[in-house]
Structure 1
Amino acid sequence: MSEQTAHDRTPVLLQIATGGVARIRLNRPEASNGMDVPFLQALHATIMACHGDPSVRAVLITGEGKHFCAGGDVRTFASKGEALPDYLREATAWLQIAVSALLELQAPVISAVHGFAAGGGGFGLVCASDFVIAAESAKFMSGAVRVGMAPDAGVSVTLTQLVGLRKALEILLTNPTLSAAEALDIGLLTRVVPDEALESEALDFARQLVTMAPKAVAAVKHLVWGGVGAGVPERLAEEARTVAELSGTQDSLEGLAAVLERRAPRFVGK
Structure 2
Amino acid sequence: MTEKLIDSGPVLFDLDTDGVATIRLNRPAAANGVTTELLQALHGVVLRCHGDPRVRAVILSGEGPNFCAGGDVRVFASKGEALPDYLREATAWLQLSAAALIQLRAPVIAAVHGFAAGGAGFGLVCAADFVVATESARFMSGAVRVGMAPDAGVSVTLTQLVGLRKAMEILLTNPTLTAAQALQAGLLTKVVPDDRLQDETRTLARTLAACAPQAIAATKRLLWNGVGAALEARLSEEARTVSELSGTADAREGLAAVIERRAPKFTGR
Indicate yes or no: 2:157 matched with 1:158. yes
Aligned to 1:70: 69
Aligned to 1:91: 90
Shift in Å, 1:211? 1.1
> In structure 1, how many angstroms separate the alpha carbons of the residues matched to 2:130 and 2:56?
14
Structure 1: 4+ residue segments shifted above 4 A: none
Question: Quick one: which amino acid aligns to residue 227 of structure 1?
Answer: G
What do residues 181-232 of structure 1 show as CA deviations (whole Å, max 9, x unaligned)?
Answer: 0000010000000000001100111001011110000000110000023211
Indicate yes or no: 2:35 matched with 1:36. yes
Q: How does 1:234-253 map to 2 (within 5 A)?
A: 234-253=233-252
Q: Would you say the 8 A contact 1:157–1:229 is kept in 2?
A: no
Aligned to 1:268: 267
TM-score of the two chains, using structure 1 as the length reference: 0.97
Counterpart secondary structure, 1:229 = helix
Q: Would you say the 8 A contact 1:108–1:221 is kept in 2?
A: yes
Counterpart secondary structure, 1:153 = coil
Counterpart secondary structure, 2:139 = strand
Q: Would you say the 8 A contact 1:57–1:108 is kept in 2?
A: yes
Q: How does 1:13-32 map to 2 (within 5 A)?
A: 13-32=12-31
> In structure 2, how many angstroms separate the alpha carbons of the residues matched to 1:37 and 1:226?
28
Question: Quick one: which amino acid aligns to residue 238 of structure 2?
Answer: E
What do residues 38-82 of structure 1 show as CA deviations (whole Å, max 9, x unaligned)?
Answer: 000000010000001001000001100010000011000000010
Distance verdict in 2 for CA 1:89–1:104, change over 3 Å: same
Shift in Å, 1:97? 1.1
Indicate yes or no: 2:169 matched with 1:170. yes
Report % sequence identity: 70
Shift in Å, 1:96? 1.4
> In structure 2, how many angstroms separate the alpha carbons of the residues matched to 1:257 and 1:9?
31
> In structure 2, how many angstroms separate the alpha carbons of the residues matched to 1:9 and 1:148?
34
> In structure 2, how many angstroms separate the alpha carbons of the residues matched to 1:78 and 1:267?
16
What do residues 129-163 of structure 1 show as CA deviations (whole Å, max 9, x unaligned)?
Answer: 00000000000000000000000000000000000
> In structure 1, how many angstroms separate the alpha carbons of the residues matched to 2:228 and 2:124?
14
Indicate yes or no: 2:120 matched with 1:118. no
> In structure 1, how many angstroms separate the alpha carbons of the residues matched to 2:78 and 2:44?
26
Q: How does 1:99-110 map to 2 (within 5 A)?
A: 99-110=98-109
Counterpart secondary structure, 2:110 = strand
Aligned to 1:4: none
Q: Would you say the 8 A contact 1:140–1:180 is kept in 2?
A: yes
Aligned to 2:142: 143
Shift in Å, 1:9? 4.0
What do residues 97-125 of structure 1 show as CA deviations (whole Å, max 9, x unaligned)?
Answer: 11111110000000000000001101001
Aligned to 2:182: 183
Q: Would you say the 8 A contact 1:158–1:229 is kept in 2?
A: no
* Coordinate RMSD, CA, aligned: 0.9
Unaligned runs of 5+ in 1: 1-6
